[in-house]
Chain A
Amino acid sequence: MPITKDEVRHVAALARLQLDEAAVERMTGQLGIILEHIARMNRLATEDVEHTSHTLPAMGNVVREDVVHRGLDRDSALANAPAREGPFFKVPKVIEDQEA
């Protein structure tokens, strides 16, 4: 088995997915097939092939000038927020200690 059910549960938890047992079973099988495919490709001689981290390697550097363009006004920015409080987005309490 290229991937265990526990690994599937762990990855699902990291991605905030709730999977029932049947889904864990199904995903373990499907992800296993993908990983097997990758393992097969890993057996190919690719030492001389440059990494393809992107499908558009020949585009050159894409940058923009450092010029301010006003985005959204506050009410538009907050318009689709599930909840707001004054000027802020309001989200469920994060139990975490303060973090930078």
Chain B
Amino acid sequence: MSDFETVIGVEVHVELNTRTKIFCQCPTTFGAEPNTQVCPICLGMPGTLPVLNEAALEAAVKAALALNCRVAEKTKFDRKNYFYPDLPKGYQISQFDEPLAADGWLEFDVDGQARRVRIRRVHLEEDAGKSLHGAADEATLVDFNRTGVPLIEVVSEPDLRSPEEARAYLTKLKTVIEYTGVSDVKMEEGSLRCDANVSVHRAGSDFGTPVELKNLNSFRAIKLALDYEVERQTKLVEGGGAVARETRLWDEKAGQTRPMRSKELSHDYRYFPEPDLVPFHIDPAWVAEVRGSLPELPDAKRDRFMAEYGLPAYDAGVITGSPSLAAYFERAAAAAKDPKKVANWVLGELLAYLNAHELGFDRIPVSPENLAALISLIDRGLISGTIAKSVFPEVCATNRDPEAIVKEKGLMVINDEGAIVEAVDRAIADNPNVVADIRNGKERAMGFLVGQVMKATKGRANPETVNRLVRERLGRT
């Protein structure tokens, strides 16, 4: 298989989080009762006319600029004609030959290597409704709430060379869009959706026939579907067969791709200029204004975190992978003395806690100030790192002042050496056999006594102090 090369291009649809739909004033709230966010325009009733939502245009320009695209000075909408029940007009208003923006690029890391993918275009279009299949009787049920929600379609050039790269590109794309704030980018709610074109060819020969993959609704699905498809095509070509140009669906349950049966999507869309919308002229001065409103983007933030906080590239990359996490870190770092320690806690205990409780970075339960306060308890020698880790879940669950929790639980470090001596003496008295072993030269048995003392003091004694005292009391200094 090693003499085969893979070529992947990706199309991503991103729902913009405007209050209203792209061409009508219906709300876009996710999860509303079926068919309660509809009007004559998005239902495609005769005689209605679309009017572009200026917020959708601005959001699309913002995203395009964040993806390093050139925004067109003139752009227009076109009709993409096909029949499907979730498309009430019988066409989708999209953009064909004069997209809003083109010629961008995006950089991302794969295994520590920087890669750059060219972005062919970014255009605006309207979303379709939702069909519910598999009902008991022979019918399809349709909910038009999503019909007309604004989308941008981001089309990459076929610059990706492996499923891992495709996944890394999508992760970065999601992050950049999330930073711009124009979308919720929640794959599980369908606000970020992905199709891929994939082909294989022998090294040195021309690109193979691309197959379009649909239904890639999670990062996991993207990787699995592409892995499957690369293997399928490679085997096919190795066996002397030819790859058919077709659209295939990823079947998550079966763990395989299969050809779509419909002739509906035969790519015979008969695009033509949308007569109901006049062409748009985008003022470069306005584009410059929008550019100025962009927040600090992930690459710039990562570089700044490395320079300003002295974080390693990897740590800075993970933390700036989410704008919420990056903002959290900055607040905690401002409240703490050592930003590196904050980064270690964020990447270690905090991420583990969030994973275990299935919490997103926008729902971090412990305030950055309380995290900084916990770290400060260690720095001030009031608790050990082990104790800090053991109370961390409670600090998260309650978001109370860590010092108060530690005091209530009596977990402060025992500074009173007398109390430790007492515990050491008790351990010696309780374990005569061990003491005998030590006296007979079995030095390692000392560790057992230290362990007993740590247990008796609930980990609050300084282990080095305990070590020293055990030796002293046994006269083995």
Interface residues of A (CB under 8 A from B): 10, 14, 16, 53-54, 56-57, 59-74, 77-78, 83, 85-100
Q: Is the CB–CB distance between A85 and B139 below 8 Å?
A: yes
Chain B residues near A72: list those with CB within 8 A.
Answer: 38-40, 43
Q: How far is the CB of A77 from chain B (nearest CB, A)?
A: 5
Q: Determine if B149 is an interface residue (Cβ-Cβ < 8 Å).
A: no
Instruction: List 15 A–B pairs whose Cβ atoms lie within 8 Å, in order of A's numbering.
Output: A10-B268, A54-B76, A61-B52, A62-B277, A63-B57, A69-B20, A71-B25, A71-B26, A88-B142, A91-B142, A92-B139, A97-B260, A98-B133, A99-B249, A100-B217
Residue of A nearest to B193 (CB): A100
Chain A residue at minimal CB-CB distance from B78: A53
List the A side residues contacting B270 at CB < 8 Å. Answer: 14
Whether the Cβ atoms of A96 and B260 lie closer than 8 Å is yes
Instruction: Flag if A99 contacts B139 (CB, 8 Å).
Output: no
> Is B140 in the interface zone, CB < 8 Å from A?
yes
Contact A63–B81 (Cβ < 8 Å): no
Partner of A99, one of B142, B143, B215: B215
Closest B residue, CB atoms, query A90 = B139
Chain B contacts for A98, CB-based, 8 A: 131, 133, 215, 249
Question: CA–CA, A98 to B249, complex, Å?
Answer: 9
CB 8 Å contact bits of B132-174 with A (1 = contact, 0 = none): 1101001111111000000000000000000000000000000
In the complex, the answer to whether A74 meets B260 with C-beta atoms within 8 Å is no
User: Are the C-beta atoms of B131 and A94 separated by less than 8 Å?
Assistant: yes
The residue from B84, B214, B275 contacting A94, defined by CB atoms under 8 A apart: B84
A66 contact from B19, B214, B280, Cβ within 8 A = B19
A66:B279 contact, CB within 8 angstroms: no
A69 near B35 with CB under 8 A, answer no
Residues of chain B lying within 8 A (CB to CB) of residue A56: 278
Instruction: Please give, as numbers and ranges, the residues of chain B lying within 8 Å of A100 by CB-CB distance.
Output: 13, 190, 193, 214-215, 217
B18 at the A/B interface (Cβ < 8 Å)? Answer: yes
Q: Are B142 and A87 within 8 A (Cβ)? A: no
Shortest 4 CB-CB contacts between residues of A and residues of B: A71-B39, A66-B55, A69-B25, A88-B141
| A-contacting residues, B109-136, CB 8 Å | 131-133, 135
In the bound complex, residues from chain A placing their C-beta under 8 Å from that of B280 are 61
Q: Point out the residues of chain A lying under 8 angstroms from B278, CB to CB.
A: 54, 56-57, 59-62
Chief secondary structure at chain B's binding surface: loop
Residue in A57, A65, A88 whose Cβ sees the most chain B Cβ within 10 Å = A88
Measured CA separation A98–B250 after assembly (Å): 10
A61 to B: closest C-beta gap in Å: 5
Give Cα A94–Cα B56 distance, bound, in whole angstroms: 31
Highest count of chain A CB atoms <10 Å: which of B41, B52, B81, B141: B141
Residues from 433 to 467 in B contacting A, C-beta threshold 8 Å: none
Which chain B residues (1-48) contact chain A, with CB distance < 8 Å? Answer: 13, 18-20, 24-27, 33-43
Whether A68 contacts B217 by the Cβ 8 Å rule is no
How many angstroms from the CA of A94 to the CA of B26 in the assembled complex? 27
**What chain B residues lie within 8 Å of A67 (beta carbons)?**
19-20, 25
Q: Which residues of A contact B38 (CB under 8 A)?
A: 71-72, 77
Nearest CB of chain A from residue B48's CB, rounded to whole Å: 11
Does B365 belong to the interface (CB within 8 Å)? no
Q: How far is the CB of B465 from chain A (nearest CB, A)?
A: 63
User: Would you call A93 and B19 a contact (CB within 8 A)?
Assistant: no
B85 near A91: Cβ-Cβ < 8 Å: yes
- What chain A residues lie within 8 Å of B258 (beta carbons)? 97
CA distance in complex: A62, B258 (Å): 44
Q: Is the CB of B138 within 8 A of A93?
A: yes
Check if B390 is an interface residue, CB within 8 A of chain A: no
A72 to B24, CA, bound (A): 12
